[in-house]
Amino acid sequence: MAPAALAQSKVTKYCRFKKGNLVALGIVDGETVRQLSGDLFANPKETGAKHKLSEVKLLYPVAAPSKILALAGNYRSHLGSAPPRPNPEPFYKPPSCLQNPEDPIVIPPGAKNVHFECELVIVIGRKATRVTVEQAKDHIFGVTCGNDVSERIWQNDPKIKDVQWWRAKGADTFGPVGPVIARGIDYANLRIMTRLNGKVMQDENTSHLVHNCETVVSFISQSTTLVPGDLIFTGTGGTTSPMKSGDTVEVEIEGIGILRNKVV
């Protein structure tokens, strides 16, 4: 087996799914979901139950993260002429902003300039307090796709913008995540893109992050303890554009999958 194929074969794709009244964890294996029991971050066990992927509803893969952080200005292609910041620049998104794959991004009242932002999302698997960059990798469970939906007027317009990005980045449904968590993948070199109604709008590679995943986890952990299930959006690349009601936006990351949402 070629090295690239061998590496891909070691990737495990974890999901959270709903089927009827059942909500459970699983492993996506081709067109089958193998059901798990227990804690995703504490060696869950296979139950023996299997479901067709086409017959389940995939949910955002972490049920209740204690916190969600996101990075500003973490790709040079998004910064334009501005110099990169010497340290990561995280901000908070509330867990209430999470949205499932295939469920709608809802433009809230008063929002007039809502943009997509394709992002690699870190999923924390072990408690991290003041860890080094070298130690940080052991605290990363895996990665998933995220869309850091942003209302640019609330965020940037000098006459209107809020002091904090509490609604510009944190309104309900402004945090779609999924469809799976990829564990064992080389997240330092993945193609990431956005398609709007089928047209490619962003096309980047995670190797171009200004501050890589380990640096981000280490930096945040110096002041804020990260716990299993916490999510970190790592920033977006290139140029973003508005979305309108009726649009379909897709975030695709190589080796992970496609996070698709309609806009209403």
- Read off the amino acid at residue 54: S
Instruction: State residue 8's pLDDT score.
Output: 54
Q: Which of 27, 173, 11, 45 is nearest to 102 (CA)?
A: 173
- Cα–Cα distances (Å) from 17 to 176, 179, 197, in that order, read 15, 10, 26
Maximum CA extent, the chain: 59
CB 26 within 8 A of CB 35: yes
Instruction: State residue 260's pLDDT score.
Output: 98
pLDDT in tens, 93-143: 999 999 999 999 999 999 999 999 999 999 999 999 999 999 999 999 999
Instruction: State residue 77's pLDDT score.
Output: 87
Mean pLDDT by 10 residues, the chain (264 residues): 51 98 98 98 97 98 98 88 89 98 98 98 98 98 98 93 94 98 98 98 97 98 98 97 98 98 98
Instruction: State residue 99's pLDDT score.
Output: 98
CATH code reported for the domain at 62-262:
3.90.850.10
pLDDT in tens, 38-53: 999 999 999 999 999 9
Domain boundaries, the chain: 1-59, 62-262
CB 219 within 8 A of CB 212: no
The 3 state secondary structure assigned to the chain is CCHHHHHHHCCEEEEEEEECCEEEEEEEECCEEEEEECCCCCCCEEEEEEEEHHHCEEECCCCCCCCEEEECCCEHHHHCCCCCCCCCCEEEECHHHEECCCCCECCCCCCCCEECCEEEEEEECCCECCCCHHHHHHHEEEEEEEECCEEHHHHHCCCCCCCCCCCCCCCCCCEEEEEEEEECCCCCCCEEEEEECCEEEEEEEHHHECCCHHHHHHHHHCCCCECCCCEEECCCCCCCCECCCCCEEEEEECCCEEEEEEEC
Please indicate whether the domains covering 1-59 and 62-262 agree at the CATH topology level: no
pTM (2 decimals)? 0.95
Instruction: State residue 261's pLDDT score.
Output: 99
Structural fold of domain 1-59: SH3 type barrels. (2.30.30)
- CA–CA separation, 118 vs 68, rounded Å? 16
Count CA atoms within 13 Å of residue 117 on its CB side. Answer: 28
Instruction: State residue 81's pLDDT score.
Output: 74
